Amino acid sequence: MFALHEGGHVPVVDPTAADGVFSLAWLVIALPLAGAAILLVGGAIAPKRFAAFGHVLGTLLPIGSFAISLAMFLSLLGRDEGDRQVVQHVYDWIDVGGLHVGMDLLYDPLTALFLLLITGVGSLIHVYSIGYMAHDPRRVRFFGYLNLFVAAMLTLVMAENYLGLFLGWEGVGLASYLLIGFWQHKHSAAAAAKKAFVINRVGDMGLSAAIMLAFATWGSTSFTVISANADGASEKTMTALGLLLLLGACGKSAQVPLQAWLLDAMEGPTPVSALIHAATMVTAGVYLITRSNFVFERAPDAQTVVVIVATVTLLWGAVIGCAKDDIKKALAGSTMSQIGYMMLGAGLGVAGYAFAIFHLLTHGFFKANMFLGAGSVMHGMDDDVNMRHYGALRAMMPVTFLTFAMGYLAIIGFPGFSGFWSKDKIIEVALAENWVVGACALLGAGITGFYMTRLMLMTFFGEKRWAKDVHPHESPAVMTYPLIVLAALSVLGGLMLAGGWIQDFLSPVVGEEVEHDPPIPALAVTGLAVLIVAVGVTIAIMLVGRRDVPREAPQDVSFVTRAARADVYGDAINDELVVKPGRALTGGLLVFDRSVVDGLFSGGALTVGGVGALVRRAQNGFVRSYALSLLGGVLLVVLALLAVNLA
């Protein structure tokens, strides 16, 4: 159906032992992990004492990880291109029978970029949380969970084998559950946490099955071993492996059909949304596919499925983003869509891996920026999330407005901003590989322009629509400084593309950039993308900016809007396809158990009891009747013996 690329060549993972600054790699994970342990245990034992300094400790530790990551990154840059893969053996983790798994940490260009993103943006989110959660009585615990989240994500991207990756993968799932449901007194938050956990479990099943398949095929889960012996496996095995990995990636990265948890995950405190959506968690799926490039390059069918899933998701999320009045949910729809772009890049193979990671990084900057900006707006608006109650906030919150505007210009792909470069590259590659996919990506860019402009206009422009007792104000400096840093990164993130730096830097992991002949010149693609975005922005200005925004959402809306408000019926589909048949199955099993299984057992018991009640009449207490039965028995035996002997 899709004429995708020829299988490209990817390099094998061949790391050298860690020395120098790289021997500190384990500390990157250990610092936030220690923070989580100290804050969660200490906060439970001596809450008052820890409340005084818990947030400072919880922030300094990820910053420490960032410092080490930065030192390792600089040291890596100093090495030859062929020598940029380092492995550190921390300890023997599992050594049972034929299964030998070491707690090995792999540090290569891909991991290096992820470490910088996770610890860098993660640290900024920690700083911001000091202000955002200032009035929460459980702030120490919150920081403990945040540290746990960061530590798990770092384990995920640093592990040298699938099992270690799985450990981090599950840790991220656990931490996200704890954080989404942090305000557990709210029923909706508790339900959202459960939903995220359960849907992620479906994906995790895929990943664990993939690990088993990998172990069955190669007898190892190490990236080094698998990538070196990847040619030994049949294409069927590789396709199965690729599809299972994709299932795992769909769960964590909220790709269709496992996307339904992402919008509900907005129930968590806003810094959590920023952490989940920008630096960690949802990027894990893209990382998994990029890291497993040695599998996907040998399974073109699986790659095609990745591309289809990604294309559907990028449109699905964009449509949702258009109709949401909740500022965080609109941004969540946008995240889904942008992750779709990254998956698209990763699904396109060697031509796209580097750009997927590039978009992941720039998205990490501008989406963290915008989520934290949304949190800042909510902070000033008494935690109201409904954009219909906003309006004209640009004068009240100048810093939030300006930083948010940088994120906005970046995500719609305004020329020169980071998102412009990264999204443009993915669209370009997609168009070169397959024009249908490319056209969908272009359409998605247009819709992005529409929904982000709508969000911007409803929040910062137009008439005031606040309730009377709300007094919007700018957030404290501890919240605005992270915004300023992230805004600067949103603007300048595109520099990573300068001179093809990021492709060259990532080439030891994902292979050399392949030359492709686009059907239309790259410059024309860029022009077309900008034009389509401009159309989207213009439509938004005509529909939202030129009219009054009613405080209540109008109900007489088109079918498309209704569908988008209902998350394109994601929950309804899950209900019909999974929940209801599941309920029917359990109900049926219950009836079967009660009638057939229980019936068999109690029926058997009743039969034995009934027969016993009849037969015990023989025990009548009269010795002579016993004697008679004895005699009768003896006669029978004798007759039987005679019959046998005479016969």
Partner 1 sequence: MDSVTPFIVLSAILFTIGAVGVLTRRNAIVVFMCVELMLNASNLALVAFAKQHGNLDGQIAAFFVMVVAAAEVVVGLAIIMTIFRTRRSASVDDASLLKY
467 or 627: CB nearest partner 1: 627
Q: Nearest approach, Cβ of 589 to partner 1 (angstroms)?
A: 42
- Rounded to whole angstroms, the Cα distance separating 303 from 246 reads 9
**620, 645, 646, 647: which one binds partner 1 (CB under 8 A):** 620
**Paired tokens of 471:** 């007094």
**1, 623, 644, 647: which one binds partner 1 (CB under 8 A):** 623
Q: Nearest approach, Cβ of 628 to partner 1 (angstroms)?
A: 6
CA dihedral (175, 176, 180, 185) positive or negative: negative
**1, 621, 644, 645: which one binds partner 1 (CB under 8 A):** 621
Using CB atoms within 10 Å of the CB of residue 390, give its burial: 0 to 12 exposed, 13 to 18 middle, 19+ buried.
buried
Tell me: does residue 624 bind partner 1 (CB under 8 A): yes
- Rounded to whole angstroms, the Cα distance separating 483 from 489 reads 10
- Please answer whether residues 270 and 132 qualify as being in contact, where contact means their C-beta atoms are separated by less than 8 angstroms: yes
**535, 560, 631, 642: which one binds partner 1 (CB under 8 A):** 631
566 or 627: CB nearest partner 1: 627
Q: Nearest approach, Cβ of 617 to partner 1 (angstroms)?
A: 6
- Rounded to whole angstroms, the Cα distance separating 106 from 234 reads 27
Tell me: does residue 94 bind partner 1 (CB under 8 A): no
Residue position matching structure tokens 């990532």? 506
Tell me: does residue 622 bind partner 1 (CB under 8 A): yes
Stretch that binds partner 1, among 53-61, 353-361, 527-535, 618-626 (CB under 8 A): 618-626
Contacts with partner 1 by CB under 8 A: the residue count is 11
Stretch that binds partner 1, among 252-260, 429-437, 486-494, 623-631 (CB under 8 A): 623-631
Using CB atoms within 10 Å of the CB of residue 623, give its burial: 0 to 12 exposed, 13 to 18 middle, 19+ buried.
exposed
**Paired tokens of 131:** 């202000």
558 or 620: CB nearest partner 1: 620
- Please answer whether residues 123 and 116 qualify as being in contact, where contact means their C-beta atoms are separated by less than 8 angstroms: no
Q: Nearest approach, Cβ of 607 to partner 1 (angstroms)?
A: 19
In 3D space, the residue among 387, 530, 371, 523 whose CA is nearest the CA of residue 448 turns out to be 530
Stretch that binds partner 1, among 188-196, 242-250, 539-547, 625-633 (CB under 8 A): 625-633
606 or 627: CB nearest partner 1: 627
Q: Nearest approach, Cβ of 631 to partner 1 (angstroms)?
A: 6
Q: Nearest approach, Cβ of 600 to partner 1 (angstroms)?
A: 29
Stretch that binds partner 1, among 135-143, 256-264, 316-324, 624-632 (CB under 8 A): 624-632
Stretch that binds partner 1, among 147-155, 201-209, 410-418, 627-635 (CB under 8 A): 627-635
For partner 1, the binding residues in 557-616 under the rule CB under 8 A are 616
Q: What is the CA radius of gyration of the chain?
A: 31
- Rounded to whole angstroms, the Cα distance separating 467 from 484 reads 29
- Rounded to whole angstroms, the Cα distance separating 333 from 277 reads 10
Q: Which helix (H) or strand (E) holds 92?
A: strand 86-96
Tell me: does residue 627 bind partner 1 (CB under 8 A): yes
555 or 620: CB nearest partner 1: 620
Q: Nearest approach, Cβ of 624 to partner 1 (angstroms)?
A: 6
Q: Nearest approach, Cβ of 645 to partner 1 (angstroms)?
A: 17
**Paired tokens of 49:** 């004492």
**555, 619, 644, 646: which one binds partner 1 (CB under 8 A):** 619
Complete DSSP assignment for 38-60: HHHHHHHH-HHHHHHHHHHHHHH
- Rounded to whole angstroms, the Cα distance separating 109 from 234 reads 29
Per-residue mark of binding to partner 1, 342-381 (x: CB under 8 A): ----------------------------------------
CA-to-CA dists, residue 23 to 15, 19, 150, 508, 546, angstroms: 14, 5, 20, 21, 59
Tell me: does residue 468 bind partner 1 (CB under 8 A): no
Tell me: does residue 617 bind partner 1 (CB under 8 A): yes
Task: Enumerate residues 6+ apart whose C-beta is below 8 A from 305.
Answer: 242, 243, 246, 347
Which residue ranges make up the site for partner 1 (CB under 8 A)? 616-617, 619-624, 627-628, 631
